[in-house]
């Protein structure tokens, strides 16, 4: 591992431990898939190699269609999602008169009552409420055409949970769902032999940017020193935000450098990063972290507010990918497109669970950073 991380000092140095401007997305025909990536998707998503290849091709096409369909829908846009069964993107609209033009753009259509703007407004109002610990998170679900409020099953009858749900329902369309556990961040105490440390906290590098790397905000405060896998000094947190957001960036120097690579940890070949085009809801996605290494799953929701014990974090993306302590800050990637940095979740990689990430393009915009791409 020392040799591998040394060879990719920014994957690993721009990859230490707590576990990007868009570019064109290559098609499967243009860039053959690695056997390791197909194997990982087969393991975590229950696909055959042929199914994995077809799915990646369909997701690439859906990502290209999504922006076009949104422009056609205009103010009638109600959100979109990828269906792995049909291999198609579905676009929700409040105006059935837009259906033909959206189908011509290559998407399926569903006519709904509420626009994305209306649902986002309701969610923003809910963000202004103080959530009790029994409320896990909330997000706009375009398929349900509602704001979904997730509550912990064991606490669903708590008075403060019921009061929060009543207040949420008063500001817009709300659907309540139950979850098994409350989310938590995935930082961890120091573990010998793993790459990046701040004090006694271990996290994972997200993505290399020009001049440093991005990671999770709960892994360190602005000004704190960062040490690499070999305990050598890398740089300092230049900016950090948590809660509210969960992102940070670290400058890289002192013999470390940045490269546009995400570690595959021997499960898959190390992955080149070529851009940051956003994957749609329903698309497959994979995560690299210093504790559980490489795992894959699906995008479940976007713009979700996650209610950690330290405070709420906004504009998160929820996935079915597992993670554990020390994976915080690590890379979420779809194909060769950077998606975000690991924040937290519930469960583990033995029994399963869900994990949230902070989208990469928001981080780049916040700090004026430029993703290092191949």
Active site residues: 218, 246, 328
Report how far apart, in Å, the C-alpha atoms of 210 and of each of 10, 147, 165, 214, 311 are: 10, 37, 44, 10, 31
State the SS3 of the chain: CHHHHHHCECCCECCCEECCCCCCCCCCCCCCCCHHHHHHHHHHHCCCHHHHHHHHHHHHHHHHHHHHHHHHHHHHEEEEEEECCCCEEEEEECCHHHHHHHHHCCCEEEECCCCHHHHHHHHHHHHCCCCCCCEEEEEEECCCCEEEEEEEHHHCCCHHHHHHHHHHHCCCCEEEEEECCCCEECCEECCCCCCEEECCEEECCCEEECCEEEECHHHCCCCCEEECCCCCEEEEEEEEECCECCEEEEECCCCCCCCCEECCECCECCEECCECCCCCCCCEEEEEECCCEEEEEEEEEEEEEEEECCEEEEEEEEECCCCCCCCCCCEEEECCEEEEEEEEEEEECCCEEEEEEEEHHHHHHHHCCCECCC
* Peptide bond before residue 243 is cis, with ω within 30 degrees of 0: yes
In sequence order, the β-bridge partners of residue 337 are: 275, 334
């Amino acid at each position: 591992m020392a040799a591998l991380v040394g060879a990719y000092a920014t994957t690993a140095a721009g990859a230490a431990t707590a576990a990007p401007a868009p570019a064109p997305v290559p098609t499967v025909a243009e860039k053959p898939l690695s056997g390791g990536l197909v194997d990982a998707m087969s393991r975590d998503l229950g696909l055959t190699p042929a199914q994995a290849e077809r799915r990646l091709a369909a997701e690439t096409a859906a990502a290209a269609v999504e922006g076009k369909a949104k422009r056609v829908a205009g103010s009638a846009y109600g959100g979109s999602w990828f269906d792995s069964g049909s291999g198609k993107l579905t676009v929700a609209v409040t105006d059935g008169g837009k259906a033909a033009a959206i189908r011509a753009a290559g998407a399926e259509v569903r006519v709904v009552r509420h626009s994305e703007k209306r649902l986002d407004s309701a969610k923003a109002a809910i963000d202004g409420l103080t959530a009790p610990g029994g409320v896990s998170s909330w997000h706009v679900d375009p398929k349900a055409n509602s704001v979904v409020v997730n509550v912990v099953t064991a606490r669903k009858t708590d008075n403060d949970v019921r009061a929060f749900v009543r207040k949420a329902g008063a500001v817009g369309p709300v659907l309540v769902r139950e979850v098994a556990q409350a989310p938590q961040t995935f930082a961890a105490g120091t573990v010998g032999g793993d790459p990046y440390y701040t004090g006694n906290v271990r996290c994972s590098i997200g993505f290399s940017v020009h001049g440093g790397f991005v990671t999770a905000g709960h892994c360190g405060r602005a000004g704190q020193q960062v040490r690499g896998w070999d305990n050598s000094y890398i740089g300092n947190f230049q900016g950090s935000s948590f809660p509210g957001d969960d992102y940070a960036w670290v400058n890289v120097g002192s013999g470390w450098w940045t490269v546009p690579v995400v570690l595959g940890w021997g499960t898959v070949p190390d992955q080149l990063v070529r851009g940051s085009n956003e994957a749609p809801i329903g698309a497959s996605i994979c995560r690299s972290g210093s504790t559980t290494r490489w795992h894959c799953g699906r995008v479940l929701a976007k713009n979700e507010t996650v209610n950690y014990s330290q405070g709420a974090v906004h504009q998160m993306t929820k996935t079915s990918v597992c993670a554990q302590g020390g994976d915080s800050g690590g890379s979420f990637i779809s194909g060769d497109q950077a998606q975000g940095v690991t924040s937290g979740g519930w469960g583990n990689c033995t029994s399963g669970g869900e994990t949230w990430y902070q989208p990469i393009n928001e981080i780049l915009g916040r700090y004026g950073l430029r993703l290092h791409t191949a």
